[in-house]
Amino acid sequence: MQRQSYTLAAEKYLSTIMGLLDGKVAIITGASRGIGKGIAEHFIAQGAKVAFTYMSSDDRAKALEEELAAKGGESKGFKSDASKFDSAQKLAEDVMAHFGKIDSTGK
């Protein structure tokens, strides 16, 4: 009986946070693999549009765009080095040009 109440409580909590990021645009650095990829997947699941960065593999970035689209999300990969100011500035400009706004950055 107690387990059932935990399940109901968890379902109620999840229903309140689903879609928490609807319509938001997030930049996630290093999202083509690892933790960054997991964050991108979570943000997409919550309704965000995701701009993600990668440094080397155009193929891996394209694959992630397709994977996130298959999950119903909108994303775009940008080749960028977050450790360089000029690259980060260009990233912000490119994301604004593509999505029209930036609401959050992560990783």
Q: pLDDT tens digits for 37-73?
A: 888 998 898 899 999 999 988 999 999 999 999 999 9
pLDDT value, residue 1 = 45
Is there a domain that residue 40 lies in?
yes
Give the helix/strand (H/E) hosting 90.
helix 85-99
Higher pLDDT, 33 or 101: 101
Q: Which of 33, 47, 51 is nearest to 94 (CA)?
A: 51
**Structural domain of 54:** 21-106
Domains held by the chain: number: 1
Is there a domain that residue 61 lies in?
yes
pTM of the entire structure? Answer: 0.78
Read off the pLDDT of each residue in 76-104 and give the average, rounded to a whole number.
94
pLDDT at position 11 over 70: no
Is there a domain that residue 16 lies in?
no
- Mean pLDDT score of the chain: 84
Is there a domain that residue 12 lies in?
no
pLDDT at position 33 over 60: yes
Is there a domain that residue 84 lies in?
yes
Higher pLDDT, 35 or 25: 25
Q: How far apart are CA 95 and CA 77, in angstroms?
A: 10
Task: Output the DSSP codes for 1-47.
Answer: -HHHHHHHHHHHHHHHHTTTTTT-EEEETTTTSHHHHHHHHHHHHTT
Q: Taking the CB of residue 74, how many other CB atoms lie within 10 A of it? A: 15
Is there a domain that residue 14 lies in?
no
DSSP at 72: T
Contacts of 100 (CB under 8 A, 6+ apart): 25
- pLDDT-based confidence at 101, cuts 50/70/90? very high
pLDDT value, residue 51 = 96
Is there a domain that residue 10 lies in?
no
What CATH code is carried by the domain that includes residue 84?
3.40.50.720
Tokens 């999950």, residue?
71
Is there a domain that residue 2 lies in?
no
